Amino acid sequence: MIMKDIVCFMPVLWASVSCARILGIFHIPSFSHQLVYQAIWKQLSLRGHQVMAVTTHPLQDPELTNLTEIDMGEVISTAINQTSIPEIMSKEVPLLSLVHNLFQVQYKIAEAVLSDKRFIDVYNATDAGFDLILAEACTLPTLYAVAAKFKVPFIGISSYGVWAGVHYAMGNPHPTSLYSEMWSTFRYPMAFSERLRNTFYYIWTRYYLNFEALPKCDQIARKYLGNDLPYIQDIEKNMSLLLLTTNPILYEPRPNVPTVISMEQMHIKPVKPLPKDLKQFLDSAKEGAVYFSLGSNVKSINIPEKLRKLLIEAFAELPYKVLWKFEDDNLPGKPKNVFIGKWIPQQDVLAHPNVKVFVTQCGLQSIEEAISRGVPMVGMPFIADQTRNIRRLSEEGAAIGLDHTTVTKEEFKNAIIEVISNPKYKENVKRLADIWVDHPLPSLNRTIWWIEYVIRHKGTKHLRSPTADVSWFEYLLVDVILVLLLAISLVIFVLYKTVKFILTRICGGAKIKQN
């Protein structure tokens, strides 16, 4: 207890804050994304705060004595067991359908979390007394309502960027001529047709949010948390801070409001020794090794059989050894140069000097790990933001992108050989790594500073942008434009009437004189 008090009140370089009670709600069942949040709630716990984390992937670290974790993994998996995330977020799914699908999943997850007895006991406890809520910032704000019930500030956190609706709520500038949805393939500079489609999407999201999604979120929140709550959109607009895992490489620079803070490479850890079998395999790869993984959402075991056979044939013909994250004990037709594993310590594997290329689905966390370890990539995007990610990496000369639906064996082999044999890819990855981490403070320290800033000042009303309170009608100056158009029309009308009157008098007078 004495040691905890020392940690809690120990002065640090940036500021100190008394012990706070923090509730974190991290509800999206994706291991790679939860890794980002784990780093945050672990560090808050180590700094002496009393932390309760509602998560799908608990740390289960007995040394973190002031950390309580509620494991929602099974509850949420059961709630969405008929939903395949790779299917509903596939790059082949139209954007409007993708967003609609995500909303439907979010409704189910929110209901599952709020109806869980363990969590009910938390948000109904009269002595809970939390000082801050950390909530995963996804497509819908339903679970932000917990902060309104406790009447405390809350911070939104995302393990990548956020969709346009969150930018609207924060008052963050989002002109459709410059910025598209993070799941869209449009990038600046956009062609006219892209700007036109992006504008239609903007109009649709405004309609869908205000008339369908937000009313549904509000209904779910009131069902479990009571009717004594502000409207859910008003709750979201009062977000004290928005922490985003963005970076200047994959995301276009934008003029964020003061309460939007970028963080990156939160989950990167020091290199640890590899398991003996992996070490022996990679040490023996004198010609180099290829590491292949499709992450935690898109699993190799679930890819189409045609693609799997193509990969097997291509790997068999390569002069390199291949380490493949494959979620089964048996890979039919496995070549002799391929080593499979259900689970691979990815960051440590990428740090091995013999790993020359990372064949990846291009999820943000995987990219961060590859960049931090200096490994160039061959990207095959499947879902969400992965298409945009590999496009940017290709433009930066750090990767080669392939379409898994059309790629041939020769294209796949040639891409791997090109990335390994051409030193420009390795050099460009190192260049990006230097840019990515060049900050005054390490990302985790900076993130914790901002979280404790919110605790110290009980919110960030003094940093709130006025754009968060302006309606779209006023923000786009629709009323001003209508008044100007009306004024111009009136002037034109008066001029028309005046000229007509003058001409009538002149013409009429001339006619009388002639007669």
Asked whether 135 and 113 are in contact (CB, 8 A), the reply is: no
Distance, in Å, from the CA atom of 260 to the CA atom of 257, rounded to the nearest integer, reads 6
Q: Of residues 114 and 177, which shows the higher confidence score?
A: 114
> Does residue 189 have a cis bond before it (omega within 30 degrees)?
yes
Asked whether 254 and 179 are in contact (CB, 8 A), the reply is: yes
Q: What pLDDT shows up at residue 356?
A: 97
pLDDT score of 9 more than 80: no
DSSP 8-state symbol, 363? -
What is the rounded average pLDDT for all residues in the chain? 90
- Give mean pLDDT, residues 401-416: 96
pLDDT score of 59 more than 80: yes
What whole-number percentage of the chain has pLDDT above 90?
Answer: 70
- How many CB atoms sit inside 10 A of residue 415's CB? 22
Q: What pLDDT shows up at residue 293?
A: 96
Secondary element (H or E) of residue 479 = helix 478-514
- Give mean pLDDT, residues 397-424: 96
Q: What pLDDT shows up at residue 512?
A: 57
- Give mean pLDDT, residues 350-369: 96
The strand pairing partners of 358, in sequence order, are 291, 377
Q: Of residues 206 and 147, which shows the higher confidence score?
A: 147
- How many CB atoms sit inside 10 A of residue 410's CB? 10
Give the total residue count for the chain: 515
Asked whether 208 and 225 are in contact (CB, 8 A), the reply is: no
Q: Of residues 325 and 511, which shows the higher confidence score?
A: 325
**Dihedral over Cα of 89, 94, 99, 100: its sign:** negative
Question: Per-residue confidence at 15, pLDDT binned at 50, 70, 90?
Answer: low
What whole-number percentage of the chain has pLDDT above 70?
Answer: 95
The strand pairing partners of 71, in sequence order, are 55
Q: Of residues 185 and 383, which shows the higher confidence score?
A: 383
Asked whether 58 and 72 are in contact (CB, 8 A), the reply is: no
pLDDT score of 13 more than 70: no
Asked whether 240 and 459 are in contact (CB, 8 A), the reply is: yes
Per residue in 67-91, pLDDT tens? 999 999 999 999 988 777 778 778 8
Q: How wide is the angle at C-alpha 286 spanned by C-alphas 283 and 287, nearest 5°?
A: 135
| Tokens coding 389 | 């990610």
Q: What's at 100, amino acid-wise?
A: H
Q: What pLDDT shows up at residue 14?
A: 47
Helix boundaries (H) for 80-231? 85-88, 95-114, 117-123, 145-150, 164-170, 192-208, 214-225
Distance, in Å, from the CA atom of 58 to the CA atom of 267, rounded to the nearest integer, reads 15
Asked if the domains 2-264+441-462 and 276-436 are classified in one and the same CATH topology, the answer is: yes
Lowest mean pLDDT among 9-18, 90-99, 213-222, 396-405: 9-18
pLDDT score of 299 more than 90: no
Q: What pLDDT shows up at residue 11?
A: 42
- Give mean pLDDT, residues 9-25: 69
Distance, in Å, from the CA atom of 150 to the CA atom of 69, rounded to the nearest integer, reads 19
Per residue in 249-295, pLDDT tens? 888 888 899 999 999 888 999 999 999 999 999 999 999 999 999 98
Secondary element (H or E) of residue 306 = helix 305-316
Distance, in Å, from the CA atom of 258 to the CA atom of 79, rounded to the nearest integer, reads 37
**Superfamily of domain 2-264+441-462, CATH level 4:** Glycogen Phosphorylase B; (3.40.50.2000)
Distance, in Å, from the CA atom of 513 to the CA atom of 515, rounded to the nearest integer, reads 5
Q: What pLDDT shows up at residue 3?
A: 41
Residue with tokens 């395949």: 84
Lowest mean pLDDT among 2-6, 105-109, 199-203, 453-457: 2-6
> Domain 276-436 belongs to what topology?
Rossmann fold (3.40.50)
DSSP 8-state symbol, 252? -
| Tokens coding 309 | 């056979």
Domain boundaries, the chain: 2-264+441-462, 276-436, 474-503
Distance, in Å, from the CA atom of 67 to the CA atom of 64, rounded to the nearest integer, reads 6
Asked whether 65 and 25 are in contact (CB, 8 A), the reply is: no
Q: What pLDDT shows up at residue 486?
A: 95
pLDDT score of 6 more than 80: no
Per residue in 496-515, pLDDT tens? 999 988 988 887 666 555 65
Supply φ then ψ for residue 455, to 5 degrees: -65, -45
Secondary element (H or E) of residue 391 = helix 386-395
Q: What pLDDT shows up at residue 189?
A: 86
- Give mean pLDDT, residues 93-118: 92
Inter-helix orientation angle 95-114/192-208, to 10°: 30
C-alpha distances (whole Å) from 242 to each of 37, 127, 256, 446, 451 are 13, 27, 10, 13, 10
C-alpha distances (whole Å) from 440 to each of 43, 138, 266, 437 are 19, 28, 15, 9
Own/partner long-range contacts of 210-216 (Cβ < 8 Å, ≥24 apart) = 213/103, 213/140, 213/165, 214/141, 216/103, 216/107
Threshold 0.85, pTM exceeds:
yes
Asked whether 266 and 443 are in contact (CB, 8 A), the reply is: yes
| Tokens coding 445 | 């320290």
Q: Based on the number of CB atoms within 10 Å of its own CB, is 445 exposed (0-12), middle (13-18) or buried (19 or more)?
A: middle
pLDDT score of 445 more than 90: yes
Asked whether 411 and 380 are in contact (CB, 8 A), the reply is: no
